[in-house]
Amino acid sequence: MSISLILKPGGLLIEKRWVYNKKNKKGDYEHRLISPINYLTDSYLLSILNTVIELEEGFTVRDWFNLIINYPVYQKLDLFTTSFLEEYYNCPKKGCIDPEGKLKEIVFQKIISTENYDPEKEDKFVCEIYMDICGRYEDEDTHYGIEFTPLKDYLDTPMKLLDGIITKTIPILKEIKETKKKKRHSNYTYDYKKEEVRVYYTLFEFITSFIYEISFFGTPERRDKKSKELCETMEDVKSGKAKTIPLDLDKLIRDKDKEGTK
């Protein structure tokens, strides 16, 4: 018997069990509501955090908040949950969508990144696995971060779990005359490979990665303060009050190579 979870609108959890019947030698899925009523122990709710999930069509950001309200033990998974629940309760009960009407959905995508930018020091690739969460427009090519966006502008936006992405940055040594000479970053070019893969998302990942994303700058108050500061900086740049310095990547690499020879 295997178990997965279906997350339904309203923030409800449904157990999806594959049950094999020995009598007729057939198996089928059975669905059971995990009731939000308090008789459920926190231990049980915590025990299913590592269970694979699927989102029912129409599951929104508002349903995400209803989920942690229905099952309060999940509020303890992040220190910023309480402050964002306060913002949630102060939002309108419906109609919380992008004022410009461009935002289609909030998407989750698991990224498996492998890279090695210094093969002379380390022959193993460094692997990083992380969750990318962003807003996606109708054209599906336009993505933008939501860490500065107040909940009232996307609370009723659908959420979606995407296929994962594997990326690999491969160092390729250029042909150089002095083979014994110590190699530098400038002696390499890099090939970049990208491939979509099917991945699974657990309930723990779904809850913790989203609250981490929206609380990147702290509480809603800190978020709004930081957003205001950045907007003021942009205005200073536009007006000429502040100047920008172009990033010279070649110089940055040369400087790093010089540091390595000291």
pLDDT single digits (tens) 19-59: 767 777 677 778 899 988 765 688 999 999 999 999 999 99
> Using alpha carbons only, what angle is made at residue 9 by residues 4 and 15, rounded to the nearest 5 degrees?
20
Task: Write the CB contacts of 51 (distance below 8 Å, at least 6 apart in sequence).
Answer: 3, 4, 5, 202, 203
Geometric angle at alpha carbon 64, from 147 and 74, rounded to 5°: 100
Please give the model's pTM, rounded to 2 decimal places. Answer: 0.82
Q: In this structure, is the dihedral angle defined by the CA atoms of residues 227, 229, 232 and 233, taken in order, positive or negative?
A: negative
Q: Is residue 252 part of a domain?
A: no
Is 179 a member of any domain?
yes
Distance CA 43, CA 88 (A): 27
Buried-exposed string 79-88: b where 16+ CB fall within 10 A, e elsewhere? ebbebbeebb
Please give the tally of structural domains in the chain.
1
The pLDDT tens digits for 150-188 are: 999 999 999 999 999 999 887 777 666 555 555 655 666
Q: What is the mean predicted confidence (pLDDT) over 239-252?
A: 70
pLDDT tens-digit profile of 70-90? 999 999 999 999 999 999 999
109 is a domain residue: yes
The answer to whether residue 48 is domain-embedded is: yes
Is 132 domain-assigned?
Answer: yes
- Calculated CA dihedral for residues 145, 143, 114, 256, nearest 10 degrees: -70
Classify residue 262: in a domain, yes or no: no
247 in a structural domain: no
**Res. 121 pLDDT band, cuts 50 70 90:** low
Residue range of the domain that includes 29: 2-231
248, part of any domain = no
248 has pLDDT over 70: no
Q: Structure tokens of 40? A: 């459920």
